[in-house]
Amino acid sequence: MGGPNDKPEFSTFSWGGMLFCAGMGTSIMFWSIVEPLYYYTSPPFHIKVSTTEAAEWGLAYGFFHWGVTAWTLYALPTVAIAYSFFVRKQSSLRISTACRGVGIK
C-alpha cells in the first residue's frame, strides 16, 4: 500500500512467512482451548461423552498437541534469535543470522 513508485517494505516471501506465522499463532491460541473441549464432547475409543474419562482424554490429547511439546518447537529458535539480537547485538532477527558461526568445519 503506497504510491505507484514506492517499493514494498517486505518481499513476497516475507509476506508469505508472516501470514504463515500469523495463521499458526492463531491456530495455536484457538485450538489449544477448543481441542480439549472437542474431545470432551465427542471422545474417541467408545468413551462416554462428558465423563471424567472423556475430560482426562481431552486434556491429555490436547496437551500433547498444543502443550509443552508444541511450544518447545517455537521456543528453541526464538531463544537462538533473541540471543543473537540482544546479546551479540546482531541487526537481524533471521534464524540464519542467529546460526552464523555455528558451522562445522
Q: Which amino acid is at 83?
A: Y
Q: What residue segments make up the domains of the chain, in order of their start?
A: 12-66, 68-105
Local structure of 33: helix, strand or coil: helix
> Reduced to 3 states, what is the DSSP secondary structure of residue 101?
coil
Residue burial 29-48, b: 16+ Cβ < 10 Å; e: rest = eeebeebbeebbeebeeebe
Query: What pLDDT score does 73 carry?
Result: 79
pTM as predicted? 0.52
- pLDDT tens sequence across 31-73: 888 988 999 999 999 999 999 999 999 988 887 877 777 778 7
